[in-house]
Chains A and B, each alone.
Chain A
């Protein structure tokens, strides 16, 4: 009471806060957005550099000679794959054994909660085949992994061929200090998850796998190869993993250093690096690359087979070979040399990669922004929440007389009816209960009688249920709010500051905050105003229809569902593959179902986050809108 602080100054500050709240919020919002956009501007970024001393420079001699033989092996693999109609296990085992590896297989099976129309699978059964190259003189304490997925059709044959060619070459060298595990996994991510769970003796996702007969020690780093053509024009590096986790930046630095040494064109996010950073198009290119990376991280799904390694603290990345219409082609021998160089350098590691950054955004392969530089943007957006909360708290504590209206508000003190407070709470609680207690299949079944649900129908059901609950249908439909939303999260920033790459969502969310601020004022004014309006809602109160309709419209636009829809279209635009509305809608539905599948299969966190935090919060706002 005035002992340690000056009450006058405090009152002045509080008055400032309440008076200038909206402008400060607007300024913070603009500053946050501007900061984030400015991150891609090249003078504000740092050039990438190798931080790990043990890896040093690219000072090795790559001598891999057998690119053509690797491609021939790939063709053989393709033939056997077509013959067996899946993974040619016996042929792979025989080939790896002839190259001197210790070969083991692992069977796994998984029943998806509902059929995945994108990949056309429901009951997934498969086999992983892996061969271990033991280090000639070292104890079996550490390992490196090179993996290539076995996909149906005509994809990735060259990757498997190159993997086997490298295995043969590596077997003849004496300088390996770590075991190298060559893994060919079936059904890409599901197989990889089974293998990793078997390797580390964990069982987090309820998959059924046979235990691994052979092991190699703790894995220090892993690379996944995707190569579908005999020659490539560029190599793309994919870093984003499960739940937006990234490998250590040193892995990307290593890749880039070798690309420069060997002279291969290397990209990230599929976008070529440009040198004209001071021109508008160059800058927008950098912004697009960075936004793509942010959105991919926000989706929470692994964008390559490497994505599942990151959870076990294994630095991993995926290298994709891209064959576009460019004149200069790189052959398989050069790609093999690049991989050989990378593995020789990873071989020199004494401890796990930890010297460089774990949280970063890359506007190109040679420039990055670390978390210390991009977090202030989100911090500014978070400050808006804080200011709003302070403002509300101050007003709750001592409501200032509303002299500008000419009427003293005496009704603010009266608490709203019990029903209006309890109902949204009940909705949220049932949502949590349903989510945690029911298995996914039942959850899907709740909305649709057919026991085997089509994925699109599931998504549509969820959306309908969401609308229904929003309009007071009061179903376990809040459960429907559980949408896994790749690409964005409205209001996620307020729950989870640590998930990087949430700019699009926070963009929307902060706008939501602003709207909410205005809405709060609106509702207060409406209490004084005339009572009319007949909007069907949970706690329908009367208010001025145009304003309420406008607010309702804005809130619907900002709802998780719509934001996701916009993000899907935005994402396609960024990737320079814009889609028509119908295709976008289909993509949107598949995104929702993929999100649920990701959560069920690999433990992705986006779906429960949205279900338990975002959607109930939005519901509460919706109810507040129609509050008295």
Chain B
């Protein structure tokens, strides 16, 4: 609970996404707008799912702890589904905007491709999701306190940061894969993304048994990264070219 924890966790959770933002998004205004709009869509989905959860909570007996926990778990899964619905809605919106741009552009192409938009939208979702999970925890870590004084795990901050990082990257990869699946009308891809998201949320339910949640989530992140790479047009040759500096 010191500056060291604050900076460490902040950089773990937000370092990669910040770097991605600075190097790939900050220079292009259109991408910044798409990023912020993506964040807005994620926020909308969160709002709606919190509304549903809130109604459920108010309608139920607040003394029954297991019921409350059950409702929270229901809230988690409902929120995941709603996020994916909003991702699809954002995809439709971006497609319309892209068509509009392409139609009025005289050089037969729009300023931004669907794949780039997919990446930026995914990153927008990821950044917002990460920020909402992590910011309050970070600000608490600056103040005084003892972690786990009531018997909870002492590794709260670091595991929160690691989980946030994984989720941010996952959202980015899911964005890429999801949009690609929608473009090519491969519905199994969409189902896979939704399923994986549900799986990751479900794994987080195992917390504080961190061995059960963090390693599998990172394995999934890695696999999703590979899938997103190949889905967005990467190949072993391009990797090779990158490594031997032939690009």
The answer on A and B forming one complex is no
